[in-house]
Chain A
Amino acid sequence: KAGVTQTPRYLIKTRGQQVTLSCSPISGHRSVSWYQQTPGQGLQFLFEYFSETQRNKGNFPGRFSGRQFSNSRSEMNVSTLELGDSALYLCASSLGSGSYNEQFFGPGTRLTVL
């Protein structure tokens, strides 16, 4: 079974631009969560989507948004990029939503904002 895939793997953008990241979950998985990882803050939860609905959201500004499609693929968008948005963005998929579901991570998208 194929794992979680993320595209693109690397992105370089300039301040003020916007970016869209894509995540395809493991086949059969319906929940996709997004995380931001930086050396100083570690892994920070952005949001979770399940059955095309945002179920939960972390403490990030409204510039960070996402959506999920009927095939469970998810996209994350960041508008008006800031230097501090440079990070590794990870998505994780799980079978369902809820406490006892194991999450499996994709390889991540490395975003650099200049």
Chain B
Amino acid sequence: QKEVEQNSGPLSVPEGAIASLNCTYSDRVSQSFFWYRQYSGKSPELIMSIYSNGDKEDGRFTAQLNKASQYVSLLIRDSQPSDSATYLCAVNRAGGYQKVTFGIGTKLQVIP
């Protein structure tokens, strides 16, 4: 079982729709969770971080965390063609050092 699992996609949604990206993780002691956006040929860009159960909203983005189910998701409202990219889920385990594990990423295509 991979430490961080994502469906590689592509996930296709029409412009203006809600895109729902999902991620599960295996390490129960994971404490912090991040979503990155990566455009083709570019480096990952941090979109959201979430540390406690529930929802966290930032503009058109909402991150959701459920530690009991070991599940984290990212919702993108009013999807735009410029949102077309690969979205990486990252999980950092507990401890006084960085050990961030990334999922393979979900490719999102927003169709105009």
Interface of A toward B, CB cutoff 8 Å: 31, 33, 35, 42-45, 48, 50, 55-56, 88, 90, 94, 97-108
Contact = CB atoms under 8 A, between A and B. Distances in A.
A105 B104 contact: no
Nearest to A108: B43
Interface in B25-65: 31-32, 34, 36, 42-46, 49, 51
Contacts of B36: 105
B104 A99 contact: no
A45 B43 contact: no
Interface string B77-99: 00000000000101011111111
B49 A31 contact: no
B98 A43 contact: no
Given A90-B43, A102-B34, A56 B105 contact: no
Contact of B102 (A42, A56, A97, A98): A42
* Chain B interface bracket (under 10, 10 to 19, 20 to 34, 35 or more): 20 to 34
A35 B98 CA distance: 12
Contact of A43 (B88, B93, B99): B88
B100 A33 contact: yes
B31 to A, nearest CB: 4
Closest 7 CB pairs of A and B: A43-B102, A55-B97, A99-B31, A105-B43, A42-B104, A48-B98, A56-B97
